[in-house]
Structure 1
Amino acid sequence: MTTRRERKRLHTRRRLYEAAVQLFEEQGYDATTMDEIAELADTARATAYNYFPRKSSFLDEWMHRRREQVSVDLDAQGGESQPIGALLRSYLDELARINLTQERLTRTLLPAWVRAGGPIDDAPALADVMTRYIRLGQQRGEVREDCDAERAGHLIRNAYLGNLYLWLRDDDSTRLDLLNAVHESVDIVLRGLAPR
């Protein structure tokens, strides 16, 4: 059970995050200041910096919350009991759906995340999940034992991000079908991972 103090800290953190996301969506990431975020969240500037030491910390939280949501959604679909191919597709599908559902926010924050070094700093997070699934597939005999699970995990992660960047770049008339592109990429990798 959480204490009153812990609940208050979580509430303040949530208010700051929600204020930041609202301002980022309304006026853009670069145009938003920490002072504006603190003001909208009705907290002191120092409090905002205590919870989020840099503005880019909100981007880290944004990514973390998306992955948490994917995990919750995946558990509702049977979690890791699915065959590995279905599990990888389900995980990446859920991520893609969040991006599509929150398209305006994604189009605002993804470039900021890239500029802040997110793809490099965050490399282990998504790749680690994919690597864990590949290793699970190896244990089950669904994935070749001689493949490097970590390299395969990074390959899937990079394919996902590559498709996301292409989707972000395209305008409405040439928009990449993100879900289909993710499926095709996973299928290509899975064919190479399939037991011989």
Structure 2
Amino acid sequence: MNTASRGLLSLLVIGCLSACSGENAEKSAAGAVSKAVELAKGAATGVGKGVDDGRKASTSADGAQIVTNGAELRAALNGKVLEATPAEGSVRVTLGFENAGAAPVRVTELDSLNNVTALDKDGYACTTQTVEREFTVPAKAKLKVDASFSCSGKNVPATVRVFDVEYAVATQS
């Protein structure tokens, strides 16, 4: 919470408490803090959305199309799981993405909000251990992208989800 938010919160709490006592003071303080938290969360969400909208509205230095959700991913790239390799305590998954378009495609925000996860055969989520923040597939090219997961008690996940797009992991024989 920044200094301005703390100052606003302090003023709200002091104002509420000076006019109340006992149970009313508790309710007033709780309400003021609740509103301050709601305001801070809304501002943070707005900043994130503004950054996304700004990136999409302006042309990137390399002319890349920016992808931040499943619908955009499906429209811009073809993807599949190329390989899933068990290692000590984790599984390294290599995804392949193909860009048939004339401009590069940059897929962003992969490291936040569980935007990349793996699911076992029963649909339980595996813990994402490593994933790139973003990647760019050049125009008319393919790119391999690695991620690692820990699936408790399972060797290999059944599916890898990027945003809401699911890619099946081939079973190993």
State TM-score, norm by structure 1: 0.28
Write 1 or 2 for the structure with the bigger share of helix: 1
State TM-score, norm by structure 2: 0.31
